[in-house]
C-alpha cells in the first residue's frame, strides 16, 4: 500500500516519520537504508551521484524539478523519487528543504516558490507512475484527510483559486457546493442528464482528475503555509541550525546555476542570452524615450513602454522565443542588475523628461516597481515579488496606437514586430560584425 506521506508529506504519517527522526544530527551521515532503497529501484541508474544521506536526497529532489524539462535530462538518474519505498527518507528531505528555505529566504522568496512548484510536479509524476488502483486509493486517502466530503463550498478553496493552483472551471458546482463523488453527482444531476449515461458523464467530467487536482493544489498550498509558519517561528527563536543554512545556500546555488545554464521551465536557454545592455542596438522608439519625453505621453512612455523593454532586454531577452513565464528573480536572484543597471537607466530617462517625471509625480515610482512584478510599493523588494506581473514589452503595433510619437521606423523596423526583437537582432549583428573584424585582424597578423 502507498503511504499518504508519499503524496502528502504533511500528512499524519509524514509527521510521525519526522517525530521518529528526532534531531538533525544524522541528516548528513551516510544512510545505508536509503542507499539500499535507491539501489533496488526499478530502472535506477547507479552511479556515484546517488544520494548518500538526507541532505543529498533533498538537493536531488530540487535538482530533479529544475532540470527535468531540459533536453538532456536523464530520468534514470532520479527513478528513486518515484519509488514508494523512498517515502520515509523523502519526507525528511521535504521538511529539511521547507525549513531551510523558509528560515533563510522567507516564504515570498524565489526559492520558496520553486519549492512549492516542485512539490506539485512531484505529486503529479508520482501519481502518474502508480498502478491505476493504487493511484485511486492513495488519492482518496489523502483527500479524505484534507477535506470533509459532506458539503464543501467552493469558497473552501479560495486560496487555491486565487493563487491559481486550482481553476474554478475544473470544478462541478451545485448551489456553490462542489460535487466530487459519483453518488452525489448522480443524486444532483442524474435526472437532468438526458440521452447520455450519467455514470459515464461522471467519469468524463469529474472522474479522478478533479480529485487529483484538488489533492495537488492543497498539498502545494499547505507546503506554502508550512513555510510561512516556519519563517514566523524562526523570527522569534535563537540561531537556526547551521545544517539548514548550508542546505539553503546549496539550493540557492542550484537555482542560480539552473537559471544560468538552462531556461528554467523547459529546454536549453535560447541563443538570446541575458547580458549587459548595449544602447547601440536600441530601436528608434527606445532611443527617443531615453532622451526624455518633451511632450505628451510621458508617464506611459516611461512606465508602460520603457520599463518592460529595459528590464526584459537586460534580463530575459529571449522571452518571446522561449515563451516561458519568469519572474525577475529567476534571472537576477539578488536584483543586482535591477538596482545597478535597469533602475538607473529608467530613472535617467524619467529625469530628462519635461517636466521631470519623479519631481512632478514621485508616486509614479511605485508603478515602475509594479510593472517589474514587485507590487505597488515605494521600494523594490524581493519579498513583494509576485504581487503584480512582470509586464512584457509592447509590440510595435501597440506603440503605434498608444504612443505614436515614439515610432520613427528605420529599415530594420520593416521586418520586426516588437522593439525587443529589433534589439536582439541588431545586437546579434553588431556582435557578428565585431567577431568578423577580430577574425580578419587575427588572419592578417598571422600573415605578417
Q: Which is nearer to ligand SF4, 51 or 317 (CB)?
A: 317
| Residue 320 makes contact with ligand SF4 by CB under 6 A | no
Q: Which of 287, 297, 293, 294 is nearest to 404 (CA)?
A: 297
Q: Which is nearer to ligand SF4, 18 or 413 (CB)?
A: 413
Binding range to ligand SF4, per CB under 6 A, among 13-21, 51-59, 103-111, 405-413: 405-413
Rule CB under 6 A: choose which of 422, 424, 426, 427 binds ligand SF4.
422
CB of 412 to ligand SF4, least distance (A): 7
| Residue 419 makes contact with ligand SF4 by CB under 6 A | yes
Q: Which is nearer to ligand SF4, 106 or 419 (CB)?
A: 419
Q: Which is nearer to ligand SF4, 186 or 290 (CB)?
A: 290
Give residue 373's region: left, alpha or beta (phi > 0; psi -120 to 50).
left
CB of 406 to ligand SF4, least distance (A): 6
CB of 317 to ligand SF4, least distance (A): 14
Which residues, 266 to 295, sit near ligand SF4 by CB under 6 A? 283-285
| Residue 120 makes contact with ligand SF4 by CB under 6 A | no
Size of the site for ligand SF4 (CB under 6 A): 11
Distance of CA 24 to the CA centre of its chain: 29
| Residue 409 makes contact with ligand SF4 by CB under 6 A | yes
Binding mask 347-386 toward ligand SF4 (x if CB under 6 A, else -) reads ----------------------------------------
Q: Which of 191, 189, 190 is nearest to 177 (CA)?
A: 189
| Residue 62 makes contact with ligand SF4 by CB under 6 A | no
Binding range to ligand SF4, per CB under 6 A, among 69-77, 351-359, 406-414, 428-436: 406-414
CB of 345 to ligand SF4, least distance (A): 17
Binding range to ligand SF4, per CB under 6 A, among 58-66, 84-92, 271-279, 404-412: 404-412
Rule CB under 6 A: choose which of 309, 396, 426, 427 binds ligand SF4.
396
Q: What is the distance between the alpha carbons of residues 208 and 124, in angstroms, rounded to a whole number?
A: 13
Binding footprint of ligand SF4 on the chain (CB under 6 A): 283-285, 396, 399, 407-409, 413, 419, 422
Amino acid at each position: 500500500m502507498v503511504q499518504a506521506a508519499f503524496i502528502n508529506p504533511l500528512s499524519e504519517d509524514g509527521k510521525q516519520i519526522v517525530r521518529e527522526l528526532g534531531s538533525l544530527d544524522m541528516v548528513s551521515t551516510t544512510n545505508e537504508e536509503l542507499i539500499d532503497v535507491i539501489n533496488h529501484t526499478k530502472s535506477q541508474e547507479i552511479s556515484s551521484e546517488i544520494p548518500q544521506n538526507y541532505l543529498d536526497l533533498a538537493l536531488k529532489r530540487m535538482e530533479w524539478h529544475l532540470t527535468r524539462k531540459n533536453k538532456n535530462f536523464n530520468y534514470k538518474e532520479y527513478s528513486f523519487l518515484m519509488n514508494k519505498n523512498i517515502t520515509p527518507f523523502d519526507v525528511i528531505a521535504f521538511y529539511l528543504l521547507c525549513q531551510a528555505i523558509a528560515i533563510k529566504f522567507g516564504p515570498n522568496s524565489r526559492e520558496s516558490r520553486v519549492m512549492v512548484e516542485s512539490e506539485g510536479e512531484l505529486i503529479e509524476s508520482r501519481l502518474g507512475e502508480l498502478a491505476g488502483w493504487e493511484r485511486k486509493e492513495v488519492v482518496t486517502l489523502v483527500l479524505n484527510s484534507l477535506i470533509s466530503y459532506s458539503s464543501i463550498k467552493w469558497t473552501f478553496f479560495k486560496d487555491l483559486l486565487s493563487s491559481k493552483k486550482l481553476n474554478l472551471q475544473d470544478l462541478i458546482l451545485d448551489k456553490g457546493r462542489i460535487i466530487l463523488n459519483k453518488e452525489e453527482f448522480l443524486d444532483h444531476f442524474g435526472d437532468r442528464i438526458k440521452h447520455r449515461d450519467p455514470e459515464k458523464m461522471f467519469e468524463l467530467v469529474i472522474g479522478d482528475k478533479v480529485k487529483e487536482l484538488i489533492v495537488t493544489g492543497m498539498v502545494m498550498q499547505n507546503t506554502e503555509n508550512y513555510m510561512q509558519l516556519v519563517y514566523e517561528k524562526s523570527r522569534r527563536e535563537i540561531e537556526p541550525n547551521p545544517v539548514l543554512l548550508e542546505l539553503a545556500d546549496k539550493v540557492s546555488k542550484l537555482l542560480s546555476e539552473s537559471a544560468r545554464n538552462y531556461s528554467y521551465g523547459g529546454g536549453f536557454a535560447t541563443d538570446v542570452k541575458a547580458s549587459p545592455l548595449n544602447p547601440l542596438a536600441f530601436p528608434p522608439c527606445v532611443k527617443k524615450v531615453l532622451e526624455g519625453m518633451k511632450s505628451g505621453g510621458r508617464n506611459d512612455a516611461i512606465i508602460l513602454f520603457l520599463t518592460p523593454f529595459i528590464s526584459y532586454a537586460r534580463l530575459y531577452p529571449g522571452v518571446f522565443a522561449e515563451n516561458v513565464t519568469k519572474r525577475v528573480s529567476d534571472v537576477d536572484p539578488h536584483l543586482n542588475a535591477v538596482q545597478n543597471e535597469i533602475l538607473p537607466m529608467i530613472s535617467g530617462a524619467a529625469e530628462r523628461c519635461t517636466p521631470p517625471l519623479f519631481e512632478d509625480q514621485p508616486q509614479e515610482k511605485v508603478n515602475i516597481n509594479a510593472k517589474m512584478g514587485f507590487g505597488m510599493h515605494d521600494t523594490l523588494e524581493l519579498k513583494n515579488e509576485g504581487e503584480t506581473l512582470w509586464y512584457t514589452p509592447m509590440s510595435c503595433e501597440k506603440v503605434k496606437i498608444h504612443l505614436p510619437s515614439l515610432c520613427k521606423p528605420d529599415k530594420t523596423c520593416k521586418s520586426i514586430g516588437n522593439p525587443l526583437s529589433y534589439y536582439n537582432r541588431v545586437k546579434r549583428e553588431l556582435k557578428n560584425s565585431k567577431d568578423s573584424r577580430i577574425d580578419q585582424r587575427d588572419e592578417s597578423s598571422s600573415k605578417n
